[in-house]
């Protein structure tokens, strides 16, 4: 991580290293879809339409190539960058989580206001032994999703949150 700005410190815990693989897979899927879309658009442009000037339809093949060339570095960079940014911590009965890469998000959820704690696993997460913990309160802006946790860690965190939420529950909204 680059130097911390502002008064907030980094959350203590990193997510699992395998999350990098997860984000890589997701980035690749997105990349394939994007380039595939570009190929379709290029075919359409190169289809000999009257309104499309010749210089454009003649060089339509360059579109997917350009898209691919621009996006490829991000496929590699995004997972690593995310791994550096995504962190979480539970202390003082508050969940503090940071996520994002280009744009960032910090979420603070006090355990006393938690309504549900979900542990979810997608296909890829399952294959990698990862899990996502979704912490919900009465407000979308007070809810947090911690992705890319080791399954064991996620299970323990969810268990702990649920137990503490039961002890602390607080009816104010």
Partner 1 sequence: MTHPDPGDPRPGSDLGSGPGPGTGPGAGLDPGPDTGTDTGPGPATGPGAGPGPAIGSGPGPGFGFGGGPGPGGAFGAGAGPYGARRLSPRVLLIDPIRLLPSLLLPLAGVLIAGGFSPTSFGWAAVGVAGSAVYAVIRWATFTYHLTEDRLELTRAFIGRLAKTIPLERIRGIDITEPPLHRLLGLAVLKIDTGAGGSEQEGTLDAVTMEQARALRTALLARRPAPPLPARAAGAAGIGQDAAGQGPAAPGATAEAGPEPVARVLARVPRRWLTYGPLSGAYLLTPFALAAGAVGLVFQWGEELGLTERSARQALEWVWAHPYLLVAVAALLVTAMPIVGAVAYAIFNWDFTLRARDGYLVAERGLITRRTVSLERRRIRGYEMTEALLERWAGVARLWAVVTGLGDSATRGQLLPVTPKAFASGVAREAVGPFATSLRPHPPRALRRRLVRAVVPWLPVAVAAFVLGWAVVGVVALGLAVLGIPLGLDRYRSLGHAYDGARLSVRSGSLRRAQAVVERRAVVGWTMRQTVFQRMAGLITVTAGVGAGSGGYPAIDTGETQGVEFAHEVTPDWIRPFLDDLS
Summarize as ranges the residues that interact with partner 1 (CB under 8 A).
4-9, 11, 89, 91-92, 94, 96, 102-110, 113-119, 136-144, 155, 158-159, 161-166, 169, 171-173
| In the complex, minimum distance from the CB of residue 131 to partner 1, in angstroms, rounded to a whole number | 11
- Measured distance CA(130)–CA(152) in Å, rounded: 8
**Between 105 and 152, whose beta carbon lies closer to partner 1?**
105
**Between 16 and 144, whose beta carbon lies closer to partner 1?**
144
The interaxial angle of helices 18-45 and 62-85, nearest 10 deg, is 160
| In the complex, minimum distance from the CB of residue 154 to partner 1, in angstroms, rounded to a whole number | 9
Task: Please report which helix (H) or strand (E) contains residue 89, including its range.
Answer: strand 87-91
- Measured distance CA(3)–CA(108) in Å, rounded: 21
Buried b (16+ CB within 10 A) or exposed e, 51-68: eeeeeeeeebeebbeebb
**Between 48 and 53, whose beta carbon lies closer to partner 1?**
53
**Could you tell me if 29 and 122 are in contact, meaning their C-beta atoms sit under 8 angstroms apart?**
no
| In the complex, minimum distance from the CB of residue 81 to partner 1, in angstroms, rounded to a whole number | 12
- Measured distance CA(113)–CA(107) in Å, rounded: 13
**Between 68 and 142, whose beta carbon lies closer to partner 1?**
142
| In the complex, minimum distance from the CB of residue 166 to partner 1, in angstroms, rounded to a whole number | 3
**Could you tell me if 60 and 38 are in contact, meaning their C-beta atoms sit under 8 angstroms apart?**
no
| In the complex, minimum distance from the CB of residue 118 to partner 1, in angstroms, rounded to a whole number | 6
Residue 134 half-sphere exposure toward CB, CA atoms < 13 A: 9
- Measured distance CA(114)–CA(162) in Å, rounded: 8
């Amino acid at each position: 991580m680059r130097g911390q700005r502002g008064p907030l410190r980094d959350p203590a815990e990193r997510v699992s290293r395998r999350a990098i693989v997860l984000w890589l897979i997701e980035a690749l899927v997105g990349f394939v879809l994007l380039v595939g879309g570009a190929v379709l658009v290029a075919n359409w442009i190169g289809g000999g339409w009257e309104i499309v000037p010749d210089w454009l339809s003649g060089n339509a093949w360059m579109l997917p190539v350009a898209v691919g060339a621009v996006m490829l570095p991000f496929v590699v960079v995004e997972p690593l960058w995310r791994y550096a940014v995504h962190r979480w911590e539970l202390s003082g009965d508050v969940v503090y989580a940071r996520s994002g890469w280009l744009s960032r998000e910090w979420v603070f959820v006090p355990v006393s206001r938690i309504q549900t704690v979900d542990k979810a696993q997608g296909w890829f997460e399952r294959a990698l032994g990862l899990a996502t913990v979704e912490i919900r309160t009465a407000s979308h802006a007070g809810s947090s999703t911690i992705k890319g946790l080791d399954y064991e860690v996620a299970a323990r965190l969810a268990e702990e949150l649920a137990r503490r939420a039961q002890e602390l529950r607080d009816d104010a909204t």
